[in-house]
Amino acid sequence: MTAKEPNITNNPNDSAIANYSTLLQSLYSCLSDSAGFSQFLGELCSHFNCHAVNLTGLNISPRLMTFGWSFGIPKAVENFYIEQNLIAHDTLIELALHQPAGAFYGANHIDPEARFLNKLDDSLKMWMESENIVDVAGMLVSNNDDSAIILTLYRNKEGGGYSHDDIAKLNLLAPHIRQAITLHQQLYFQSVDNISLKAALDSAPQASIVLSPLLEIIHANSKAKEWVEQVEHLDITNNNRVFFNNKEKNSEFQKHCYQLLHALGDAQLSSVAVFSIDDPYGLPIRVTLTPIGTDDEGEGYKALLMQFFDPNSSDLPRSAEIRKAFSLSPSESRVCEHLVRGFSAKEIAQKIDRKESTIRDNIKSIFLKTGYNRQVEVVAAILRTIPSH
């Protein structure tokens, strides 16, 4: 009697399991990748035949974007979304916020009449129509009433609408995605680099806060905490984020943060940001934002250094100090003294009775001597280098 050969068949589930294993490896590898979840979003997009994917963090009231990773969305569209604070009117975000956390849904399933899609801001609707987006899957990753994290997957006509089977497959990943994002937040605060950074900030003379790529406060030194207590229009929220009471300034802050964290190697974007807040009922603020620590792939930054300065003219660096610190001429250092106080070339010309063309020549010379290419970079360098009195 001869032995019967085993009946070997290819189990279609084997391929699916292998693909999920690859996705999970990519997801959890993000915990040690300072670029965050970018690679995973790309693989998720490919696996589920999507056109674009984004993972967005937001402050709920007022509605503001606090961080984001994406794949397949053009940078120009992302920047416009942030600059115009379109998240405040994004009905797909509104749809996600009304779903239970931790479970994927298909927009066409729960909103078959496309009420949310039809109510989109015109510019968002235009992008979706130009890309032939026909359906959106999403998951409310977390929602603590102050802030939320939402994952959104866009499909165009080529991919077709999401089937119930597609959503079921996505939901196999849902608990892993939530866990990975939670771990990412916890591990970031426990890293050796950040512990060393805390010690350095505590000994620094300037009021300083370091923000994670999720724009959560990693550490604020005692001087920064004093500033927050004194300034009525600035606060630290319960979920450990910097918050400006002025809605426009909050939008400006979010825009600068996002652009700086993704500005590495982009010559069109400044390497720092400086903005001012003047409040007749409280202490004014001048803030600089500087990205610090590039990731291993050279595609982004690990954190943002946020520093506060008193724009009171008596406390800001004077011409003599600037001249000594940066080896500038008397006329160049005098121009810098006015630049750090927020004056334009035209206003400086009027204040010191010089031609505007002369002031602009001075600024060009300052660029050559300091190695910076933008006024905002010069101002930030001066503020960081010369401490307030």
At residue 287 the predicted structure's pLDDT band, cuts being 50, 70 and 90, is confident
Task: Please give the biggest Cα pair distance in the chain.
Answer: 111
Same domain, 285 and 218: yes
The per-residue pLDDT for 10 is 42
324-380 pLDDT per residue, tens: 888 899 999 999 988 887 788 898 999 899 999 999 999 999 988 888 888 877 887
**36 shares its domain with 163:** yes
Q: What is the mean pLDDT of the chain?
A: 80
Asked, for residue 5, whether it belongs to a domain, the answer is no
Q: Is 176 found in the same domain as 220?
A: no
Domain stops at, among 144, 168, 189: 189
The answer to whether residue 3 is domain-embedded is: no
End position of a domain, from candidates 162, 189, 216: 189
Q: How many domains does the chain have?
A: 3
Mean pLDDT of the 153-164 span: 94
In a domain, 93, yes or no: yes
For residue 25, tell me if it sits in a domain: yes
Q: State the pLDDT at residue 290.
A: 78
Is the model more confident about 12 or about 133? 133
- Return the CATH number at 111: 3.30.450.80
Task: Give the span between the Cα atoms of 222 and 260, in whole angstroms.
Answer: 25
Q: Which domain holds residue 176?
A: 17-189
CA–CA gap between residue 233 and residue 34 (Å, rounded): 32
Mean predicted confidence (pLDDT) in 41-69: 91
For residue 279, what pLDDT band results from cuts at 50, 70 and 90? low
Residue 280 lies inside a defined structural domain of this protein: yes
- Residue 8 domain-assigned? no
The answer on 182 and 207 residing in a single domain is no
State whether 22 and 170 are in the same domain.
Answer: yes
- We report the CATH number of the domain holding residue 325 as 1.10.10.10
**Among 49-58, 277-286, 300-309, the least confident range:** 277-286
Q: Does residue 352 sit in helix, strand or coil?
A: helix
Domain match, 257 and 165 both: no
Residue 56: pLDDT band with limits 50, 70, 90: very high
pLDDT (0 to 100) of residue 18? 57
Residue 151 lies in a domain: yes
Same domain, 226 and 332: no
- Torsion angles phi and psi, residue 51, rounded to 5: -95, -35
pLDDT over 70, % of the chain: 78
Q: Based on the fold, state whether residues 103 and 154 are members of the same structural domain.
A: yes
Check whether residue 295 and residue 329 sit in a common domain: no
Q: Are residues 366 and 339 in the same domain?
A: yes
Q: What is the mean pLDDT of residues 28-37?
A: 76
Last residue of a domain, one of 189, 219, 247: 189
- At 220-271, the pLDDT tens digits run 888 888 888 877 777 888 778 888 877 788 888 888 887 777 765 454 555 6
| Whether residue 219 is found in the same domain as residue 82 | no
* Residues 334 and 301 grouped into a single domain: no
Residues 6+ apart with CB under 8 A from 326: 333, 336, 369, 370, 381, 382, 385
Is 54 within the bounds of a domain?
yes
Closest CA to 261 of 44, 66, 93, 47: 66
pLDDT for the residue numbered 266: 53
pLDDT value at residue 348: 92
How many residues are present in the chain? Answer: 389
Q: Residue 11: pLDDT above 60?
A: no
Confidence of residue 148 (pLDDT cuts 50, 70, 90): very high
